[in-house]
Amino acid sequence: MASSSGSMVSSLTSLRLSGKVALVTGGAGGIGEAIVRYFVAHGAKACVVDIQDNLGRRLCNELCVGSPDSAFYRHCNVTVEDEVRRAVDLNVDKFGKLDIMVNNAGKLDRPPVPDIRDVEFSAFNRILDVNIGGVFLGMKHAARAMIPSRRGSIVSLCSMSGLVGGVTPHAYTCSKHAVLGLTKNVAAELGQHGIRVNCVTPFAIPTHLSVFTDTDEVDEKALAGFHSLVESAANLKGVETGVEDVANAIVFLCSDEARYVSGTNLVLDGGFTAVNHSFRFFR
């Protein structure tokens, strides 16, 4: 992940987030890591919050080489309100403001339970606690920090499971539908304070949630199968999507180029959810 993201951001020609301060939940690995790398490459200072302490500290130490204070790490369980509050306050104390909040931390049902009769309610709620409770707390405390300055951008990670059914287990699908609804509702409230609230919906992205082992080692066989499955299902052919696509979209939404974009869901799925694939038109 590190070398791949590093090579991608090295080709940037402009700093779209210069002077901005960001907090990224779940920023130690996967999509979150890519977001942090792109933010720093675009001139932002980033607070990485996660429960993966070793990965988070390693990432921030790397990003701070030659550029001190570009990033720092804070342990934070997004389901615990006091920890989210403290992370936001630490960010403001350190940099004097909070311009960007990215709610990226997420959890997927593992292993998936295909029969609703076998789903434990406690397991169902654990997914909701992270995927929607964590997003709510991130929005709440970002708003607390941003309202006095009457500016800011909040972006949350949604999913194509928030648009269609039958793709992921029940809890994950419910949580992502909720993220989309909460995004619209909070945008309606915070617009009066000059704060923009959006979400991003990626197609299938290979990360530790999908093709990595519990030790963060890539399962190469699973990765190959994942790419094969995505290619067969994708509507837009010839493009292999990855974390950089999500990071680029979030950089745009947090930049001044998107200063009038709020309450929207930026869908990065190559047209997949715009098409009823069961009809198999022209095939």
Spot the catalytic one: 172, 175, 255, 262. Answer: 172
Closest CA to 73 of 84, 65, 61: 61
Spot the catalytic one: 20, 45, 107, 176. Answer: 176
CA torsion, ordered 107, 80, 56, 126, to nearest 10 deg: -20
Closest CA to 246 of 206, 186, 195: 206
CA torsion, ordered 205, 209, 212, 215, to nearest 10 deg: 150
φ and ψ at 207, to 5 degrees?
A: -140, -175
CA torsion, ordered 154, 158, 163, 169, to nearest 10 deg: -150
Task: State which H helix or E strand residue 33 sits in.
Answer: helix 30-41
User: Where would I find the beta strands (DSSP E) of the chain?
Assistant: 21-25, 45-50, 71-75, 100-103, 152-157, 195-202, 265-268
Spot the catalytic one: 159, 161, 175, 255. Answer: 159
245/128 Cα distance (integer angstroms)? 26
Closest CA to 202 of 149, 163, 171: 163
**159 counts as catalytic:** yes
**73 counts as catalytic:** no
Catalytically active residues, by annotation: 159, 172, 176
